[in-house]
Structure 1
Amino acid sequence: MSVVWEVIQNQILGMQWLNELLGLGLSALGLDINTRIGGSVQFFLYDTIKITVLLCFLILLISYIQSYFPPERSKRLLGRFHGIWANIIAALLGTVTPFCSCSSIPLFIGFTSAGLPLGVTFSFLISSPMVDLGSLLLLTGIFGWKIAIAYVIVGLMIAVVGGTLIEKFHMEKYVESFIKNTSSVDIESPTLTQRERLIYAKDQTFSTFKKVFPYILIGVGIGAVIHNWIPELWIETVLGSNNPFGVILATIVGIPMYADIFGTIPVAEALLSKGAQLGTILSFMMAVTTLSLPSLIMLKKAIKPKLLAVFIGICSIGIIIVGYLFNTFQYLFI
């Protein structure tokens, strides 16, 4: 069974055969893949093709699942639960919704204006960009199933705990009045045929891919530079075990950036190969996807500064705690 799973992880999800094929092709063209330039070209082509193929397949699959959860149905579903169960369902719902924080904010506003508890909508807002079904499979192909599952679990935990804390603080008055005063019109979604669901999934695939592909190229490019040009000693010094502030630094650096999880994975892959600690890398990924500067600017239009500060504080503290925990128990995953 372990042999079968290894084949799935390495050859199907990880596409190691593609890396070997590209190496042979580049060598046949006269490019030495053992040099920095050759290695960078191989890394860039391999990760770009691999992530593109997996991403398109995953978006198609997840978009098909999303067709069963339009906003109206999602609101009704969330309205049936109360207490921490509502936060858990909201966090789980976030795994089959938009792939980046900026895309999640309009849904967050819609849920809030519909009268759903604020903590529940924040659990959704945290989970949606940080964790999704696509990231689980893609992380499995690159880092292995232990790290992938652990990442998803801690991401959901941050979403549930963060939303629960915000609910306990009773911060509804810090939501902008135009959202609270918006009348929610609950329109019954038409029943889609299988053909319509497939068309919807195809359209979502093209639309989402066009949005995220530039960030994939940027992420793979940065990963190629880290992988082949930056000495391991530098990475280990800044993000390795000898720097007790590596997790905090990675979280702070990640916040101003904007990318979805698919754009951060090649950077994380390169950092891990250079000796950066696992928890530090995961903190960087979570900060980029959840607390990106553009999404915070958008969110500021919907909530007042005090609530925004609480949201940033809860997410940052949660991400940092997760980072140090993973660094401490890294030996269990690698």
Structure 2
Amino acid sequence: MSDASLTPRSRASALGHHLWAKEKVWLASAALLAALLVFAPELGVSSAGFVVQNLLNVAPFLALSVGIAAYAGASGADGLIARAFTGAPAMMILIAALMGGLSPFCSCGVIPLIAALLAMGVPLSAVMAFWLASPVMDPSMFVLTTGVLGFEFAVAKTLAAVGLGVLGGTLVHLLSRSGALSDPLREGVGNGGCGGAKVRNAQPVVWRFWQDGARVEKFIREAIKTTLFLAKWLTLAFLLESLMLAFVPAELVASALGGTGIVPIGIATLVGVPAYLNGYAALPLVGGLMSQGMAPGAGLAFLVAGGVSSLPAAIAVWALVKREVFLLYLGIALAGSFAIGLLFQLWMAL
């Protein structure tokens, strides 16, 4: 049926359906914020301020990561990056986990790089290793963790980041060998594993891409597309996080995480998902709980699970990959965090 044969009402309905399908994230955020401003004006204003402030806080990291991804695509360097992730799977996963633990990107800022790597055909195992390790630790986080929780805890958190990345990458590699997870990206985000042609067919790299008009256009197009994609999902994520902070008192989190033994570690792992504030705000909270008797293993499990699967990180992952990959990511984050907390608790008891 052609558009000309549609009635005005049918056209309006089709247009509305198309608009909702394409912009449902923006519309959902706008509807939620509008409802807050009408029924709880104070909360609505504070939530809007929270979203703006957090978007400004992550803007430098997002700008850097978007710029790197767009530059790689415009210059043709994406093929070189992809080939750097080839070789023996075990070494590739280990290097990716180490890079993730040392990179300065937050879980949101690394999203465009992850999308670019997957679209280039880089194995999901290496990408998953990088993705899991990246939000747990970075150089500035290591320094702050040392100051708040001590050097031993900072080292343990660093090893946890790398270990979680290796665990996740290895598990994904084993699953991929059976043919699973061959096309991880959602439709419209990238071309998934099919981008492997960039690895097989080397193209010349034009480092000074700005001397080529077509490449400049590609850089601008990709940068705008990625920025808008991230902006809509991060806006929703930070809006939901503001509501979580408003309705989940810190005292409730503290009471749930107190005590020692295996049970608090399990509770800390689960509570870390919805109650995690951010990497910097969570450190003093955990420090205060540990001074009141919370086991170090529970504290580490809370920080690792919350960092990897907090609302902004989880929503970013959901927006980028298919459901089965998202569930695998979440399962690895929770199971790995619980195991890390237990191991650290055993180590502290020796």
TM range, smaller chain: 0.5 to 0.7
Please tell me whether the aligned partners of residues 126 and 159 of structure 1 are also in contact (alpha carbons under 8 angstroms): yes
> What's the offset of the Cα at 1:295?
2.2
User: Which residue of the other structure, out of 137, 141, 151, is the alignment partner of 1:145?
Assistant: 151
1:128 to 1:329, Cα distance in 2 relative to 1, 3 A:
same
Please name the residue that 1:248 is paired with.
266
> What's the offset of the Cα at 1:100?
2.1
User: Which residue of the other structure, out of 108, 122, 127, is the alignment partner of 2:128?
Assistant: 122
Letter in 2 for 1:153: L
Q: Is 1:304 equivalent to 2:316 in the alignment? A: no
Q: What secondary structure, in the 3-state scheme, does the structure 1 residue paired with 2:134 have? A: helix
Please tell me whether the aligned partners of residues 107 and 308 of structure 2 are also in contact (alpha carbons under 8 angstroms): yes
Q: Is 1:293 equivalent to 2:311 in the alignment? A: yes
> What's the offset of the Cα at 1:293?
2.1
Please name the residue that 2:183 is paired with.
173
Please tell me whether the aligned partners of residues 185 and 320 of structure 2 are also in contact (alpha carbons under 8 angstroms): yes
Please tell me whether the aligned partners of residues 123 and 160 of structure 1 are also in contact (alpha carbons under 8 angstroms): yes
Deviations 1:196-232 (A, max 9, x none): xxxxxxxxxxxxxxx9xx9xxx9xx99xx97xxx69x
Please name the residue that 2:218 is paired with.
none
> What's the offset of the Cα at 1:175?
3.0
Letter in 2 for 1:284: F
Report the Cα distance in structure 2 between the residues aligned to 1:308 and 1:111, rounded to whole angstroms. 17
Deviations 1:8-42 (A, max 9, x none): xxxxxxxxxxxxxxxxxxxxxxxxxxxxxxxxxxx
Give the alignment of 1:138-217 within 5 angstroms: 138-170=144-176, 171-178=181-188, 179-180=190-191, 188-189=206-207
> What's the offset of the Cα at 1:190?
5.4
Please name the residue that 1:24 is paired with.
none
Unaligned 5+ residue runs, structure 2?
Answer: 1-56, 210-233
User: Which residue of the other structure, out of 78, 91, 98, is the alignment partner of 1:92?
Assistant: 98
Give the alignment of 1:218-257 within 5 angstroms: 238-241=257-260, 244-257=262-275
1:236 to 1:328, Cα distance in 2 relative to 1, 3 A:
farther
> What's the offset of the Cα at 1:188?
4.7
Please tell me whether the aligned partners of residues 105 and 135 of structure 2 are also in contact (alpha carbons under 8 angstroms): yes
User: Which residue of the other structure, out of 335, 341, 344, is the alignment partner of 1:317?
Assistant: 335
1:235 to 1:129, Cα distance in 2 relative to 1, 3 A:
closer
Q: Is 1:273 equivalent to 2:291 in the alignment? A: yes
Please tell me whether the aligned partners of residues 273 and 305 of structure 2 are also in contact (alpha carbons under 8 angstroms): yes
Q: What secondary structure, in the 3-state scheme, does the structure 1 residue paired with 2:122 have? A: coil
Please name the residue that 2:39 is paired with.
none
User: Which residue of the other structure, out of 139, 147, 156, is the alignment partner of 1:133?
Assistant: 139
Please tell me whether the aligned partners of residues 286 and 299 of structure 2 are also in contact (alpha carbons under 8 angstroms): yes
- The root-mean-square deviation of aligned C-alpha atoms, in Å, is 3.7
Unaligned 5+ residue runs, structure 1?
Answer: 1-54, 192-210
| Overall identity of the aligned pairs, in % | 25
Report the Cα distance in structure 1 between the residues aligned to 2:99 and 2:83, rounded to whole angstroms. 10
> What's the offset of the Cα at 1:79?
2.7
1:160 to 1:78, Cα distance in 2 relative to 1, 3 A:
farther
Letter in 1 for 2:186: E
1:78 to 1:271, Cα distance in 2 relative to 1, 3 A:
farther
Q: How many residues of Structure 1 are paired with residues of Structure 2 in the alignment? A: 235
Report the Cα distance in structure 2 between the residues aligned to 1:314 and 1:131, rounded to whole angstroms. 17
Give the number of the structure whose alpha-carbon radius of gyration is greater. 2
Letter in 1 for 2:141: S
Report the Cα distance in structure 1 between the residues aligned to 2:208 and 2:262, rounded to whole angstroms. 54
Letter in 2 for 1:110: A
1:99 to 1:260, Cα distance in 2 relative to 1, 3 A:
farther
> What's the offset of the Cα at 1:331?
3.7
> What's the offset of the Cα at 1:75?
1.8
Please tell me whether the aligned partners of residues 101 and 161 of structure 2 are also in contact (alpha carbons under 8 angstroms): no
Q: Normalising by structure 2, what TM-score?
A: 0.58
Q: What secondary structure, in the 3-state scheme, does the structure 2 residue paired with 1:245 have? A: helix
Letter in 2 for 1:310: L
